[in-house]
Amino acid sequence: MGMLISEDLIGSLNETARAAHEDEFGALGRKLERRGVDIEALVKRAMAWSVAVPTWGVGTGGTRFARFPGKGEPRNIHDKLADCGVIQQLTRGTRTVSPHIPWDKVSDYNALRQEAAQDGLGFDAVNSNTFQDQADQALSYRYRSLANARSDIRAQAVAHNIECIEIGKAFGSPALTVWIGDGTNFAGQQSLSGMFENYLKAMEEVYAALPPNMGLFIEHKMYEPAFYSTVISDWGASLMAAQHLGPQAQCLVDLGHHAPNVNIEQIVARLVHVGRLAGFHFNDSKYGDDDLDSGSVDPFRLFLVVNELDEAEQRGAKGFDPAYMIDQSHNVTDPIESLMASAVEIARAHMQASLVDRKALSEAQEANDVMAAHRTLKAGFLTDVSPILAEARMRQGGAYDPIAAYRASGYRDRVAQERPEVKGAGGGIV
């Protein structure tokens, strides 16, 4: 709380940009008015938007080859909340954080909720971890966790997930997200059907421990850390598992967890159709699960995904109430900057999608007027909605340019004074 950036600084920087902003906001307003769109309604819609930030995302990430930490790496959940508070303060579109267990375990969750609330933050879905061995752990997950052939290892993984549910209650989390790395590196290593059956058995126990108002989000991923097969490798397997478990189980889609070339927005549409879309993990990727900043590789794909979400919301698709979260690895940038920039890019896609003339689009689709339909959709993407996003931020006390304000504030240097330097870590894991 004491760490937040001075409101005076934000205000004075915003004031410097005021004249230019008003010219651009005004011009966009006139342009939209000519399309029959009220910019005020869009500003309000932009102000209502929010995406969760992962607590682990404010630390520098790495690869199996190396990790190059930056200055002022957060040491614990308190440092992480401070960093997330700055992100929310400047962007005003990241009102929740998504914690990770055991990394974010504390002794007093009520105190932590109050600490977060002081920075304007609440808690989103809690994430369990059975893809690593913890120091105090009895049995190893070397050969899988929830899908392990051994019932004692499965039981340990189930117990951890049930503990996460309890912690989630303490956090006020709406859901438990379960991502496992379980799979195999060799053909024949395990029975492909046997692993799935073991997974279902274990997840039945986790599901049974859910309170009625908590969701169980199943996150699929094509590969990595397993390189021959992965138990929950695609949305089909995720859906089969969710259907098996019950109505509180839903399917979480991460942009980087698919095979090359896959049409991800259509997967969103299918899960909406069947009423099982848990939500979306935003990031971007060019090759594998690169976990790059949202919108940095293929912003039109981001737009198309968000457009599908927007379309579902606007037509009131049954049971549609997804959770949105950023899930990225920041290896060469200041994580706070990357998370702010990503939050803005996702909000941009949301605003561009909001601009799509859905009536004209439907008419063109019904008439099989391919070119008109495509152009109607793309008109949203081609509109520079930056003035709306800036207006929405400033009306809520955020920054005209979050990264400029962050840099001007000296926050990173400030926290680096109390957070010790972390040495470059090269694990020799090649």
Residues between 270 and 309 with contacts to its own copies, criterion CB under 8 A: 270, 272-274, 285-288, 290-293, 296-301, 304, 308
In the complex, the smallest distance separating the C-beta of residue 114 from its own copies, rounded to whole angstroms, is: 26
Site string for its own copies, 147-166 (x = CB under 8 A): --xx----------------
Q: Looking at beta carbons only, is 84 or 210 nearer to its own copies?
A: 84
Cβ atoms of 29 and 388 within 8 Å: the answer is no
Q: Looking at beta carbons only, is 107 or 186 nearer to its own copies?
A: 186
14 binds its own copies (CB under 8 A): no
Cβ atoms of 53 and 336 within 8 Å: the answer is no
C-beta atoms surrounding 305 within 10 Å: 23
In the complex, the smallest distance separating the C-beta of residue 282 from its own copies, rounded to whole angstroms, is: 15
403 exposed, middle or buried (CB, 10 Å; 0-12, 13-18, 19+)? middle
State the distance between the two ends of the chain, measured CA to CA, in whole angstroms. Answer: 41
In the complex, the smallest distance separating the C-beta of residue 46 from its own copies, rounded to whole angstroms, is: 16
Q: How far is CA 278 from CA 85, 340, 345, in A?
A: 25, 24, 21
Chain positions 210 to 249 lying near its own copies, rule: CB under 8 A, are: 222-225, 227-230, 233-237, 239-240
Dihedral of CA 373/374/375/380: which sign?
positive
138 binds its own copies (CB under 8 A): no
How many chain residues are in contact with its own copies, going by CB under 8 A?
127
Cβ atoms of 105 and 55 within 8 Å: the answer is no
186 binds its own copies (CB under 8 A): yes
Taking CB under 8 A as the binding criterion, the range among 39-47, 63-71, 117-125, 201-209 that sits at the site for its own copies is: 63-71
In the complex, the smallest distance separating the C-beta of residue 261 from its own copies, rounded to whole angstroms, is: 5
- Kind of pairing between the strands at 96-98 and 183-184: unpaired
Q: Looking at beta carbons only, is 188 or 212 nearer to its own copies?
A: 188
Instruction: Give residue 279's identity as a one-letter amino acid code.
Output: G
Neighbouring residues of 140: CB distance < 8 A, sequence distance ≥ 6? 133, 153
Q: How far is CA 87 from CA 3, 121, 125, 204, 205, in A?
A: 12, 10, 18, 37, 37
190 binds its own copies (CB under 8 A): yes
Q: Looking at beta carbons only, is 109 or 235 nearer to its own copies?
A: 235
98 binds its own copies (CB under 8 A): no
Chain positions 367 to 426 lying near its own copies, rule: CB under 8 A, are: 368, 370-371, 373-378, 381-384, 386, 403, 423-426
430 binds its own copies (CB under 8 A): yes
